[in-house]
């Protein structure tokens, strides 16, 4: 029941947040923060209890909840919490609070409705991270989309209609493909066993014809790649991130993008291990292209939010790269990167939004020399620029480097290419700092520095960045069993090998010594 | 007491945190005491740790301390752990010692700057990162320090952020070194994939076991590490950032771009010497790179007009000597030159800063002159520094270190004679450009009136450094002159001793030393001839025509900037000129298509009810017809 | 026995209604034509019911009657609105919904 | 019997033709009423007496009255036609056709065939049972259809009156 509470708390709090507007301006905000905080605590409680790992089917679920729903179609209310979803739910609640704090001054109209939508979207996201019945998963997948759309179209900036429409079209198209594949899987299960099933564990045991598996895998892949996003499906992202209100952008970049990555890890890879093997180099190639292409475009931007948006695409490329590298190390890196990216882009968008709020422009050409005007903002921007360029000691570095270390064994050439992305990351991050905060001051208006609320928020993210950068174990040890299992599940792949181990090393030595005279 | 080791990098870090969070609320005096105090206590801690280390030294060659496991997952174990041996202790001592002196100096030098707290915060962060770099037990932690010092270098070069050119210089420094860092990172990937470890000692011992000398992988990794080192240490071909880096405040140039950070490459190669020993061809490349860099930089230094740029090029040139030494396997000689260099180059920069300070931020040496009488302290200390850099024999440290390098080049089995001649020519050029500065700045008539000698906080470090620049050399003296081997004995526990060619004897060493002495004195003499006011050629060379093509080439550091501009920078800007996403164009096109289709279809929507009724009827008829068939 | 000619009549009436619907521009006539068509359909149901001796045809008639009543009440309301707004009964004038 | 059917069919056909060809709405309405009555007769002949009665009461009565009301409400639009509406040939045609139908009904009464009423009674029961048995959903739907019809008519009419006042 605890799992249901995780989903229901934000959803049930949503109408109260709406109504709260009648009482005071801040009531919706506090209701939303309270709901998310309770959610976060509950998740911590559920995740940290000493559970005996239930070996039901293929999931090593810490907590599981199974209620029948529509037995005729094999649909049940099946939720499961494991290390991966645990981490992501904590992240969701945290980023949600950050998004609300970031909108503290920006959102002044229809405050109640805004927070209602935020809570609904987050409830949907948590549902996505928990559902292990594919039908239920899809339900939540759609549930999180509609409030997001409304958030953009009601509170967005000048081009919001275009952006929200694009966002909706892309994500809906992806969802449609996903839906078709999910239904097809259930029907195939019916063919094989006589009754349809949407259950994760049942579908894992399903053996598919290679042709069929390939098509279904492609559908799952595309559905999640759109959300991630990876090229060539990424073009909705810059428009959307730019036009959405800051809070919504933080949720989009910090959490929604993770649902795509989560889908890849949870469904695409374990459900179709054989079919993936052919596609692994292509998908990893997409990751590489994404990293480099988006980095080049980020360097070309003059709009600060678009720059951050492209950098965000570039960072998501690491997730794609690591997810399909097939080594446990790379997968651990992916998890780390998911968390780190959520924190760093969340922070960057918060700051970019604060700049936009102050100067009513996003053009970096009209800024410059703001260090002396807004020192707090500038310092924090510098911090997050460093995080984004992968400075060691920050969580992003751990994520990126684990991915690179883990993938080098299988794809050395790609990793070398990706390394150029690291140089480009330096170029665009520092370029952003230079054009915005350094140099001569273009706009001599005096604007207020970061408010205490916003500064505290950013500082909190920064502390988390450093903490996870120096002590990533907090995340990694939680997800390690999940990733071990994932590698085992995908172990059928011929191209994949485990991270080098002591024994592997010594055999290597023996082989080499055999060669040398 | 040796367990206090972890405090050494943590103390400056604490200073940084204090200044970063409370810098705005502290008075200048408090800021300076936090900034200098943190580094000073780190220096004291170093002394305590060193004392403890030496107590057990030859028996226990290294000390290992793990604070916590940084990354420990899926076959990768990397700790936040320190490794102290003779090499890292030397580095730590230089960093904290020289660093402390420079901090004290800055307390006065930067006294009137707005960003006082910011400056000390960055400086403390730098010291912390640099200490992490040299104390790191594993390559990943080393990389952390490596990138950390890069960041601090960036921040400090662009310290006066209102000047766009300074910002450009800062970005250039970071990006160029990042290219090297990236190669370094790839090297890490290869090593980890091969040996499942990142511990420096473990990796090297496994590499020695697994890779035969000259094996491909060893070469590749060595080359990648070399690129990293070259980037950090401003050697060819990634040297272009260092002259521009002089945009930062002068103490920054002294600490980062002379004494410590730029020598990180030297440290890296020395640290990974087992690996480099497996790749002799790469070692040769190192030697040649060092030689070429030292010659190019020295020749450029001769014609610079900006006092700090002269020193920047001289730094490149001196680090070229260190690389040369590393290349011929004279590990200890390279480190010895590092030690003397950080003393005399820090001294030179600080003295130059003193000059600049008193001339109201005038840096053009053609607008200086005759400062000898006005700034006696500065003059004498600068003179000592310049003498040490040129290698004035017997009394300066620079002589002993440079002589040791040249002797190693001469006697090493993996060197060539022409390299030695090149290096000798470089020594001559060193004397030339060092004393050109002296004669231009301190002799002749006064062109800009100085404000007067700086205060105690600036003079003190100058004097201490001048003393060190003279005396540090006595730690190691050749056979022919006293045969003191304190330094090489000490380092022999961390680095292999230099191999000598068979059949080399003391007489040839004496001859070689004579050549070095002559070269250095020749350079000084030439400088006196050309630049000393009142001498023979001065009038002809005084109004040095700077528009001569060869002169511009030399002044621009042999045109590397322009070359890279053509090769990389401009194509890159062309590539990033359009902020539009080409893929997005595809989708937009799709949208336009859809729109026009929709427009076309909407012509059928006439709004006439009868038309709709008719189409329904026709449609029904067609359907009926279909069923009928 | 009478159902076949009744069906023929139904078809003829339906066709007439359709012709009226398509040829008249006056919205009122179009509504009348619609009524004719509905009646034709009702006739067809009744004839069918009579042919098979079942009550379903008449029940369908009842539904059609209900439908017609509802339709007419709303449609005439719309006609009143339109005529009020456009001052004409020309159906082709009411084409604001065109694409 | 058959001849009665054919005559009624002819009447309804001719009346319908006049409905769609006539230029005056009131005339057309008159013809439509005639056509509906003829249809009612045909229903009766086909054995659907209840339907025939409803056809006359609801269609020929209620719905057509609605139409008439509307035509009258549209007064200003058709005011110049007002005079021509009441010319003799306006009601001559419908009258003739109606007389034909009257004759038919008279003949039916005179023929004294009353067996139909007995059949009608049993049929009626069948209809009712079916209507509230298997077709209950349909009845519900019909009621749901009528309610919006009611609301729609009320709403549209109300808007008109308010706007009218506004003008």
- From the list B161, B158, B159, B93, the residue with the least C-alpha distance to B127 is B93
- From the list B224, B572, B182, the residue with the least C-alpha distance to A420 is B182
Q: Could you state, in order of their start, the residue ranges of all structural domains in chain A?
A: 274-445+466-517
Best mutation target among B21, B22, B74, B165 (most A Cβ atoms within 10 Å) is B74
Interface A-B: count of C-beta contacts within 8 A: 172
- Measured between CB atoms, does B30 come within 8 Å of chain A? no
User: pLDDT category, C45, cuts 50, 70, 90?
Assistant: very high
Record: contact D42-C9, CB cut-off 8 A = yes
Record: contact B602-C21, CB cut-off 8 A = no
Average pLDDT along chain A: 85
Q: Is the predicted pLDDT of residue A44 greater than 70, yes or no?
A: yes
Q: Is A450 within 8 Å of A377 (Cβ atoms)? A: yes
What average pLDDT does range A359-377 have in this prediction? 84
pLDDT at D112: 65
Q: How far apart are CA B513 and CA B411, in angstroms?
A: 12
Q: Is the predicted pLDDT of residue A309 greater than 80, yes or no?
A: yes
- Measured between CB atoms, does C94 come within 8 Å of chain D? no
Q: Is the predicted pLDDT of residue A487 greater than 60, yes or no?
A: yes
* Burial class of A237 by CB neighbour count within 10 A (0 to 12, 13 to 18, 19+): buried
Residues from chain C contacting residue B612 (CB–CB below 8 Å): none
Best mutation target among D40, D124, D139, D156 (most C Cβ atoms within 10 Å) is D156
Q: How far apart are CA B25 and CA B21, in angstroms?
A: 9
What average pLDDT does range A215-231 have in this prediction? 89
- Measured between CB atoms, does B162 come within 8 Å of chain A? yes
pLDDT digits (tens, 9 = 90+) for A58-89: 456 778 888 888 888 888 898 888 888 888 99
Average pLDDT along chain D: 78
Q: Is the predicted pLDDT of residue B135 greater than 60, yes or no?
A: yes
Question: What Rg value do the Cα atoms of chain A yield, rounded?
Answer: 22
pLDDT digits (tens, 9 = 90+) for B85-124: 888 888 999 999 999 999 999 888 888 888 888 899 999 9
pLDDT digits (tens, 9 = 90+) for A75-134: 889 888 888 888 899 999 999 999 999 888 888 888 889 999 999 999 999 999 999 899
User: pLDDT category, A475, cuts 50, 70, 90?
Assistant: confident
Record: contact A473-B73, CB cut-off 8 A = yes
Distance from CA of C21 to the nearest CA of B (A): 7
Largest CA distance in chain B: 119
Best mutation target among B608, B612, B616 (most C Cβ atoms within 10 Å) is B608
- DSSP class of residue A394 equals S
What average pLDDT does range B488-514 have in this prediction? 77
The strand ranges marked E within B161-266 are none
Average pLDDT along chain B: 86
pLDDT at B132: 92
Q: Is the predicted pLDDT of residue A180 greater than 90, yes or no?
A: yes
The strand ranges marked E within D30-126 are none
Which long-range CB contacts under 8 A does B511-516 form with residues at least 24 apart? B512/B406, B512/B407, B512/B410, B513/B393, B513/B403, B513/B407, B513/B478, B513/B480, B513/B481, B515/B406, B515/B424, B516/B391, B516/B393, B516/B399, B516/B402, B516/B403, B516/B406, B516/B424, B516/B427
Element (H, E) at B499: none
Most confident stretch, A369-378, A441-450, B344-353: B344-353
pLDDT at C63: 92
What average pLDDT does range A391-399 have in this prediction? 90
- Measured between CB atoms, does B577 come within 8 Å of chain C? no
pLDDT at D78: 56
Best mutation target among B607, B620, B621 (most C Cβ atoms within 10 Å) is B607
pLDDT at A510: 41
pLDDT at C37: 92
pLDDT at B238: 87
User: pLDDT category, B541, cuts 50, 70, 90?
Assistant: low
Record: contact B608-C95, CB cut-off 8 A = yes
Q: How far apart are CA A465 and CA A98, in angstroms?
A: 14
User: pLDDT category, A233, cuts 50, 70, 90?
Assistant: confident
- Measured between CB atoms, does C30 come within 8 Å of chain D? no
Q: Is the predicted pLDDT of residue A506 greater than 80, yes or no?
A: no
pLDDT at A513: 41
User: pLDDT category, D167, cuts 50, 70, 90?
Assistant: very low
What average pLDDT does range A301-312 have in this prediction? 90
- Measured between CB atoms, does C90 come within 8 Å of chain D? no
Q: Is the predicted pLDDT of residue B528 greater than 60, yes or no?
A: yes
* Burial class of D28 by CB neighbour count within 10 A (0 to 12, 13 to 18, 19+): buried
Out of C19, C61, C73, the one facing D150 most closely (by C-beta) is: C73
* Burial class of B574 by CB neighbour count within 10 A (0 to 12, 13 to 18, 19+): exposed
Distance from CA of B627 to the nearest CA of C (A): 18
Q: How many CB atoms sit inside 10 A of residue B1's CB?
A: 12
pLDDT at D85: 52
What burial letters (b/e) apply to A298-309, b meaning 16+ CB within 10 Å?
A: bbbbebbbbbbb
Q: Is the predicted pLDDT of residue B62 greater than 70, yes or no?
A: yes
Out of D28, D73, D142, the one facing C32 most closely (by C-beta) is: D28
pLDDT digits (tens, 9 = 90+) for B18-33: 988 888 888 888 888 9
pLDDT at A91: 92
Q: For residues B480 and D86, which has the higher predicted lDDT (pLDDT)?
A: B480
Residues from chain C contacting residue B601 (CB–CB below 8 Å): 99
Q: For residues B91 and A513, which has the higher predicted lDDT (pLDDT)?
A: B91
Q: How far apart are CA B565 and CA B18, in angstroms?
A: 41
Q: Is A228 within 8 Å of A334 (Cβ atoms)? A: no
Task: For B211, name the nearest residue in chain A, comparing CA atoms only.
Answer: A512
Q: For residues B17 and B411, which has the higher predicted lDDT (pLDDT)?
A: B17
Record: contact B608-C99, CB cut-off 8 A = no
Record: contact A402-B162, CB cut-off 8 A = no
Q: Which of helix, strand or coil describes residue B576?
A: coil
What average pLDDT does range D95-118 have in this prediction? 70
pLDDT at D166: 37
User: pLDDT category, D81, cuts 50, 70, 90?
Assistant: low
Q: Is the predicted pLDDT of residue B591 greater than 70, yes or no?
A: yes
Task: For B604, name the nearest residue in chain C, comparing CA atoms only.
Answer: C99
Task: For A442, name the nearest residue in chain B, comparing CA atoms only.
Answer: B162
ipTM over 0.85: no
Record: contact D77-C68, CB cut-off 8 A = no
- Measured between CB atoms, does B455 come within 8 Å of chain A? no
Task: For D55, name the nearest residue in chain C, comparing CA atoms only.
Answer: C65
Q: How far apart are CA A91 and CA A339, in angstroms?
A: 7
User: pLDDT category, D91, cuts 50, 70, 90?
Assistant: low
pLDDT digits (tens, 9 = 90+) for B318-375: 999 999 988 888 888 888 999 999 999 999 999 988 888 888 888 888 788 788 888 8
User: pLDDT category, B224, cuts 50, 70, 90?
Assistant: very high
Q: How far apart are CA B327 and CA B321, in angstroms?
A: 10
In chain B, % of residues over pLDDT 70 = 97
pLDDT at A446: 80
pLDDT at A138: 93
Interface B-C: count of C-beta contacts within 8 A: 38
Instruction: Sort residue B26 into left (φ over 0), alpha (ψ -120 to 50) or beta.
Output: beta
């Amino acid at each position: 029941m605890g799992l249901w509470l995780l989903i229901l708390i934000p959803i049930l709090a949503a109408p109260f947040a709406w109504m709260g507007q009648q009482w005071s301006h801040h009531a919706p905000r506090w209701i939303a923060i309270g709901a998310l905080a309770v959610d976060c605590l509950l998740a911590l409680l559920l995740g940290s209890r000493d559970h005996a790992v239930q070996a039901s089917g293929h999931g090593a679920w810490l907590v599981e909840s199974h209620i029948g729903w529509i037995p005729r179609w094999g649909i049940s209310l099946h939720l499961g919490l494991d290390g991966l979803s645990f981490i992501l739910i904590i992240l969701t609640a945290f980023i949600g609070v950050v998004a609300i704090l970031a909108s503290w001054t920006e959102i002044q109209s229809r405050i109640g409705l805004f927070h209602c939508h935020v809570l609904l979207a987050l409830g949907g996201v948590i549902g996505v991270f928990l559902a292990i019945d594919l039908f239920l998963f899809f339900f939540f997948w759609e549930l999180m989309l509609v409030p997001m759309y409304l958030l953009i179209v009601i509170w967005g900036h000048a081009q919001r209609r275009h952006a929200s429409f694009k966002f909706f079209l892309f994500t809906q198209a992806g969802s449609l493909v996903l839906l078709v594949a999910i239904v097809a899987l259930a029907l195939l299960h019916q063919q094989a066993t006589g009754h349809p099933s949407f259950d994760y564990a049942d579908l894992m045991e399903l053996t598919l014809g290679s042709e069929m598996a390939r098509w279904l895998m492609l559908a799952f892949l595309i559905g999640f790649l759109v959300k991630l996003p990876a090229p060539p499906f990424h073009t909705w992202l810059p428009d959307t991130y730019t036009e959405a209100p800051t809070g919504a952008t933080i949720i989009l970049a910090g959490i929604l993008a993770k649902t795509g990555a989560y889908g890849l890890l949870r469904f695409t890879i374990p459900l179709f291990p054989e079919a993936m093997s052919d596609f692994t180099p292509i998908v990893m190639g997409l990751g590489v292209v994404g990293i480099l292409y988006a980095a080049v475009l980020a360097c070309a931007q003059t709009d600060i939010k678009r720059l951050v948006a492209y950098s965000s695409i570039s960072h998501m490329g690491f997730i794609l790269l690591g997810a399909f590298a097939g080594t446990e190390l790379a997968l651990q890196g992916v998890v780390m990167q998911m968390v780190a990216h959520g924190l760093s882009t969340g922070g960057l968008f918060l700051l970019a939004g604060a700049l936009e709020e102050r100067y009513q422009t996003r053009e970096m050409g009209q800024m410059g020399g703001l260090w002396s005007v807004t020192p707090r903002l500038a310092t924090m921007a510098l911090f997050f620029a460093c995080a984004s360029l992968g400075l060691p000691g920050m969580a992003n570095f751990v994520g990126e480097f684990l991915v690179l270390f883990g993938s080098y064994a299988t794809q050395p050439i790609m990793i070398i290419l990706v390394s150029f992305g690291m140089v480009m990351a330096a170029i665009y991050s520092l370029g952003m700092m230079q054009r915005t905060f350094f140099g001569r001051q273009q706009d001599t208006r005096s604007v207020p520095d970061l408010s205490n609320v916003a500064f505290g928020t950013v500082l909190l993210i920064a502390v988390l960045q450093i903490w996870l950068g120096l002590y990533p174990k907090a995340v990694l040890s939680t997800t390690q069993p999940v990733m071990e299992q994932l590698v085992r599940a995908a172990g059928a792949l011929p191209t994949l090998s485990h991270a080098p181990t002591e024994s592997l090393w010594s055999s290597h030595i023996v082989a080499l010594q055999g060669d040398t005279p | 007491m040796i367990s206090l080791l972890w405090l050494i990098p943590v103390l400056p870090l604490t200073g940084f945190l204090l200044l970063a969070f409370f810098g705005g609320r502290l008075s200048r005096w408090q800021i300076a005491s936090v900034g200098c105090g943190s580094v000073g206590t780190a220096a004291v801690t170093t002394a305590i740790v060193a004392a403890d280390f030496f107590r057990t030294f030859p028996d226990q060659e290294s000390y290992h301390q793990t604070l916590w496991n940084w990354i420990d997952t899926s076959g990768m174990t990397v700790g936040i752990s320190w490794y102290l041996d003779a090499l890292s202790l030397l580095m730590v001592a230089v960093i904290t010692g020289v660093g402390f002196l420079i901090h004290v100096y800055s307390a006065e030098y930067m006294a009137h700057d707005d960003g006082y707290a910011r400056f000390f915060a960055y400086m403390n962060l730098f010291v912390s990162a640099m200490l992490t770099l040299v104390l790191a037990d594993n390559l990943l932690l080393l990389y952390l320090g490596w990138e950390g010092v890069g960041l601090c270098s960036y921040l400090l070069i662009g310290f006066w952020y209102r000047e766009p050119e300074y910002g450009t210089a800062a970005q250039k420094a970071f990006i160029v070194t990042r290219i090297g860092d990236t190669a370094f990172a790839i090297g890490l990937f290869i090593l980890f994939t091969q040996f499942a470890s990142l511990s420096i000692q473990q990796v090297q011992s496994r590499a020695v076991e697994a890779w035969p000398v000259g094996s491909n992988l060893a070469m590749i990794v060595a080359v990648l590490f070399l690129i990293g080192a070259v980037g950090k240490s401003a050697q060819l071909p990634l040297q272009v950032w260092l002259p521009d880096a002089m945009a930062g405040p002068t103490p920054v140039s002294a600490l980062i771009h002379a004494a410590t950070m730029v020598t990180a490459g030297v440290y890296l190669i020395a640290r990974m010497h087992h690996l480099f020993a497996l790749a002799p061809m790469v070692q040769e490349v190192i030697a040649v790179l060092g030689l070429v860099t030292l010659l190019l930089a020295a020749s450029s230094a001769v014609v610079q007009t900006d006092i700090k740029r002269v020193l920047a090029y001289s730094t490149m040139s001196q680090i070229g000597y260190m690389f040369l030494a590393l290349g011929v396997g004279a590990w200890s000689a390279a480190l010895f030159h590092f030690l003397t260099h950080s003393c005399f180059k820090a001294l030179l920069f600080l003295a130059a800063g003193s000059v600049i300070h008193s001339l109201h931020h005038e840096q053009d040496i053609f607008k200086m002159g005759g400062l000898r009488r006005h700034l006696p302290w500065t003059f004498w200390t600068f003179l000592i520094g310049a003498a040490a850099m040129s290698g004035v024999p017997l009394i300066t440290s620079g002589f002993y270190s440079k002589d040791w390098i040249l002797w190693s080049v001469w006697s090493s089995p993996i060197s060539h004679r022409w390299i030695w001649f090149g290096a000798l020519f470089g020594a001559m050029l060193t004397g030339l450009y060092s004393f050109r500065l002296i004669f231009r700045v301190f002799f002749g008539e006064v062109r800009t009136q100085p404000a007067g000698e700086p205060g105690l906080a600036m003079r003190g470090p100058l004097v201490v450094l001048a003393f060190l620049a003279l005396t540090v050399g006595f730690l190691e003296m050749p056979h022919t002159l006293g045969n003191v081997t304190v330094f090489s004995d000490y380092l022999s526990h961390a680095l292999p001793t230099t191999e000598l060619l068979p059949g080399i004897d003391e007489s040839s060493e004496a001859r070689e030393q004579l050549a070095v002495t002559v070269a250095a004195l020749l350079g000084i003499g030439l400088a006196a001839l050309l630049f000393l006011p009142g001498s023979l050629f001065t009038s002809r060379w005084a109004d040095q025509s700077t528009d001569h093509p060869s002169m511009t080439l030399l002044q621009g550091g042999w045109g590397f900037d322009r070359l890279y501009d053509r090769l990389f920078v401009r194509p890159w800007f062309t590539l990033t000129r359009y902020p539009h996403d080409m893929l997005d164009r595809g989708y937009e096109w799709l949208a336009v298509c859809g729109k026009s289709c929709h427009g076309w279809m909407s012509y059928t929507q006439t709004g006439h009810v009868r038309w709709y009724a008719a189409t329904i009827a026709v449609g029904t008829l067609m359907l009926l017809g279909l069923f009928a068939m | 026995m009478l159902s076949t000619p009744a069906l023929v009549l139904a078809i003829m009436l339906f066709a007439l209604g359709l012709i009226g619907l398509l040829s008249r521009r006056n919205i009122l006539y179009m509504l009348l034509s619609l009524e004719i068509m509905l009646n034709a359909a009702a006739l067809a149901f009744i004839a069918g019911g009579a042919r098979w001796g079942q009550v379903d045809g008449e029940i369908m008639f009842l539904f059609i009657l209900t439908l017609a009543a509802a339709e007419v009440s709303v449609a005439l309301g719309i006609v009143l609105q339109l005529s009020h707004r456009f001052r004409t009964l020309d159906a082709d004038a009411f084409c604001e919904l065109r694409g | 019997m058959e001849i009665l059917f054919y005559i009624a069919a002819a009447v309804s056909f001719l009346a319908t033709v006049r409905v769609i060809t006539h230029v005056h709405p009131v005339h057309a309405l008159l013809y439509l009423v005639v056509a509906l009555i003829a249809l009612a007769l045909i229903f009766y002949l086909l054995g659907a007496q209840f339907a025939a009665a409803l056809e006359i009461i609801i269609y020929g009565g209620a719905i057509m009255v609605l139409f008439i009301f509307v035509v009258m409400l549209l007064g200003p639009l058709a005011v110049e036609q007002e005079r021509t509406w009441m010319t003799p040939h306006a009601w001559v045609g419908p009258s003739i056709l109606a007389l034909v139908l009257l004759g038919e009904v008279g003949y039916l009464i005179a023929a004294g065939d009353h067996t139909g009423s007995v059949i009608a009674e049993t049929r009626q029961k069948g209809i009712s049972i079916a209507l509230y048995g298997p077709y209950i959903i349909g009845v519900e739907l019909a009621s749901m259809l009528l309610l919006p019809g009611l609301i729609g008519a009320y709403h549209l009419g109300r808007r008109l009156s308010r706007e009218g006042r506004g003008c």
